[in-house]
């Protein structure tokens, strides 16, 4: 007997409901973590997105070497956020 089925039986809940609710809770937690990472980076630089980083670079308000690590991290976490949002939509 798989662990999900075992726990569902012990709790007296439907296995599919437990799986869906567990997945939703996981995705929400991951999304909160990603949004916290995004907020940390954007607040530090006074921006809201990678696109605003691009604008700062384009206008010469920041130098690429000064922000590249944060730029790449923000780009990564924004992509992760988008993945998590797509996964959440599939649950509905």
Per residue in 21-74, pLDDT (tens digit) is 999 999 999 999 999 999 999 999 999 989 998 999 999 999 999 999 999 999
Provide mean pLDDT across the span 69-86.
Answer: 96
Give residue 1's pLDDT.
66
Rounded Cα gap, residues 69 and 87, in angstroms = 27
**Cβ atoms of 18 and 79 closer than 8 Å:** no
pTM: 0.84
Rounded Cα gap, residues 18 and 12, in angstroms = 10
pLDDT band at 92 (very low <50, low <70, confident <90, very high): confident
> φ, ψ for residue 32 (rounded to 5)?
-60, -40
Secondary structure of residue 84 in the 3-state scheme: helix
Give residue 18's pLDDT.
95
């Amino acid at each position: 007997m798989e662990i999900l089925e075992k726990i569902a039986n012990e709790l007296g809940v439907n296995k599919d409901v437990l799986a869906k609710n567990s997945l939703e809770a996981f995705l929400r937690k991951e999304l909160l973590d990603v949004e916290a990472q995004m907020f940390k980076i954007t607040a530090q630089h006074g921006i809201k997105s990678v696109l605003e980083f691009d604008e700062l670079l384009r206008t010469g308000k920041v130098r690429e070497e000064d922000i590249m690590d944060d730029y790449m991290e923000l780009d990564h976490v924004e992509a992760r956020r988008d993945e998590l949002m797509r996964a959440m939509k599939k649950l509905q």
